[in-house]
């Protein structure tokens, strides 16, 4: 199937004759293959004798639409793409267990069983074309630093939306917020062995278009398209920017540690200096003051006791609403 797409161009038509000669198959077989590509969501225009031409599809994450434009050194250079996956994180973890290299990504058009933290559900709408992508990294880092990758991913997502003209905030630890509503979520999963951290899989679900989340979430979810209301956006734009920012930030983390990245994160963190309710084994309220060098949230509770809130254990909510 790959061979046929590599013969097609976005700008000019390729005739059925050329395709059948290059692939050494009949014109009817060419037509059949074109139909099966269309069934996977690839837009192909056909125009009589002129032949076939690829048409851009803003909602697709098929590598065909973005692979050649990716400017990273290692992130996203190995791609696992399928039209449908139960969970991009699960597919990537399986690949990681079989030895997939650092920087491999898994992405699909429709994720059927997206997961959030603490066994929550990450919702998608089949026809909505949400951007769901997981990234595999094999870092040389101690296990206790692994949660920092959630914060670094949040920062990268925020920066990629900024470069598209949006002004996102980050709700500690891992939600990206536009106009008080959630536009993207992150789920980090890791595996360790006797020698330490073996790999980390970072999954993200990004509502790029209105309709990529169910209407039951209307009150608390939004999409980049709704926020920008006007300029066109594509899943490919978001993906390319996200992968480029993430690679850059991961390089910085390796070279400089978390301190400078933390400043960037804190600038965008809307949880800081606001009243929060921490919901875990114990529930309490207080004021979120800062983030420490391990990525924990520092909260001063109503008895003036300093609390260190760790990622993974708790949900943090605004006292009035979700944010
Ligand atoms: P938390 O918001 O506590 O950090 P998670 O990061 O695990 O929780 O995200 C899961 C939550 O996100 C769900 O409980 C639901 O409220 C919300 N959610 C699920 N799907 C979407 C979506 N497509 N867009 C926005 N929010 C969503």
- The pLDDT tens digits for 2-33 are 589 889 998 899 999 999 999 999 999 999 99
Of all atoms in ligand 1, which is nearest to the CA of residue 171? 4
CA of 182 to the centre of ligand 1 (A): 8
CA of 147 to the centre of ligand 1 (A): 18
| Closest-lying ligand 1 atom to the alpha carbon of residue 213 | 23
The answer, yes or no, to whether residue 102 has pLDDT greater than 70, is yes
More confident residue, 129 or 258: 258
The mean-pLDDT minimum among 59-63, 70-74, 78-82 falls in 59-63
Pocket test for ligand 1, best of 113, 115, 122 (most atoms within 8 A of CB): 122
Ligand 1, atom nearest to 117 Cα = 7
Q: How far is the CA of 218 from the centre of ligand 1 (A)?
A: 12
Contact 302, 284 (CB under 8 A): yes
CA of 116 to the centre of ligand 1 (A): 6
Q: Do 215 and 199 meet the contact criterion of CB atoms below 8 Å apart?
A: no
Please tell me what DSSP assigns to residue 291: E
CA–CA separation, 120 and 139 (whole Å): 27
Cis status of the peptide bond prior to 173, with omega within 30 of 0: yes
Rg (CA), the chain: 22
Residue with CA at minimum distance from ligand 1 atom 10: 116
| pLDDT on residue 126 | 73
Atom of ligand 1 nearest to the CA of 221: 25
| Token couple for 29 | 């077989």
Percent of the chain with pLDDT over 90: 75
Question: Distance from CA of residue 54 to its chain's centroid?
Answer: 25
Arithmetic mean of pLDDT over the chain: 91
Under a CB-based contact definition with an 8 Å cutoff, are residues 81 and 62 in contact? Answer: yes
Q: Report the pLDDT value the prediction gives residue 11, as an integer from 0 to 100.
A: 86
Mean pLDDT of 188-204: 91
Mean pLDDT, residues 20-48: 91
183 CA distance to ligand 1 centroid (A)?
9
Strands (E), the chain: 43-47, 51-55, 79-85, 105-111, 131-137, 169-171, 175-178, 181-193, 196-206, 275-279, 283-291, 297-301, 306-309, 315-318
Tell me which residues have their CB closer than 6 angstroms to ligand 1: 116-117, 120, 122-123, 174-175, 182, 185, 205, 207, 213, 217, 221, 315
Mean per-residue pLDDT for 255-263? 94
* Nearest protein CA to atom 17 of ligand 1, as residue: 122
End-to-end CA distance of the chain: 46
- CB-CB contact of 37 with 53 (8 Å): no
pLDDT at 312: 63
Instruction: Indicate whether 62 pLDDT > 70.
Output: yes
* Gap from CA of 122 to ligand 1 centroid (Å): 6
Closest Cα to atom 2 of ligand 1 = 175
> 314: pLDDT confidence band, cut at 50, 70 and 90?
low
The secondary structure of residue 68, as a DSSP letter, is G
Q: Assess contact for 42 and 60: CB atoms under 8 A.
A: yes
The pLDDT assigned to 128 comes to 66
Q: Output the pLDDT for position 2.
A: 59
Atom number, ligand 1, closest to the C-alpha of residue 322: 2
Q: How far apart are CA 258 and CA 147, in angstroms?
A: 11
pLDDT of residue 313: 56
Distance CA 200, CA 145 (A): 11
Q: Which of 298, 291, 242, 294 is nearest to 263 (CA)?
A: 291
- Separation of alpha carbons 14 and 52, rounded Å: 5
Length of the chain: 323
210 and 59 in contact (C-beta within 8 Å)?
no
Average pLDDT on 69-88 reads 96
CA of 317 to the centre of ligand 1 (A): 12
Whether 143 has a pLDDT exceeding 90, the answer reads no
Q: What pLDDT, on the 0 to 100 scale, is given for residue 319?
A: 59
């Amino acid at each position: 199937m790959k061979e046929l797409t590599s013969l097609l161009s976005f700008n000019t038509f390729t005739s059925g004759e050329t395709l059948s000669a290059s692939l050494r198959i009949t014109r009817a077989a060419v037509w059949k293959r074109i139909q099966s590509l269309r069934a996977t969501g690839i837009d192909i225009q056909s125009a009589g004798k002129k032949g076939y031409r690829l048409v851009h599809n803003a909602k697709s994450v098929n590598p065909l639409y973005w692979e050649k434009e990716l400017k990273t050194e290692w992130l996203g250079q190995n791609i696992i793409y399928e039209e449908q996956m139960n969970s991009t994180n699960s597919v990537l973890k399986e690949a990681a267990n079989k030895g997939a290299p650092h920087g491999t990504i898994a992405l699909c058009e429709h994720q059927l069983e997206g997961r959030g933290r603490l066994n929550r559900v990450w919702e998608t709408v089949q026809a909505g074309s949400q951007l769901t992508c997981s990234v595999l990294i094999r870092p040389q880092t101690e296990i206790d630093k692994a949660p920092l990758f959630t914060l670094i991913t949040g920062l990268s997502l925020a920066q990629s939306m900024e470069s598209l003209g949006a002004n996102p905030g980050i709700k500690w630890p891992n939600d990206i917020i536009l106009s008080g509503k959630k536009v993207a979520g992150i789920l980090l999963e890791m595996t360790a062995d006797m020698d330490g951290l073996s790999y980390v899989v970072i999954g993200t679900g990004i509502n790029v278009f209105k309709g990529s989340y169910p209407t039951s979430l209307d009150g608390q979810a939004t999409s980049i398209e709704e926020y920008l209301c006007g300029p066109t956006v594509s899943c490919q734009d978001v993906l390319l920017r996200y992968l480029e920012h993430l690679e850059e930030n991961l390089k910085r983390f390796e070279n400089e540690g978390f301190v400078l990245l933390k400043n960037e994160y804190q600038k965008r963190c809307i949880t800081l200096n606001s009243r929060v309710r921490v919901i875990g084994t114990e529930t309490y309220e207080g004021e979120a003051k800062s983030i420490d060098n391990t990525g924990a949230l520092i909260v001063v509770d109503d008895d003036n006791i300093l609390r260190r809130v760790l990622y993974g254990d708790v949900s943090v909510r605004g006292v009035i609403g979700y944010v």
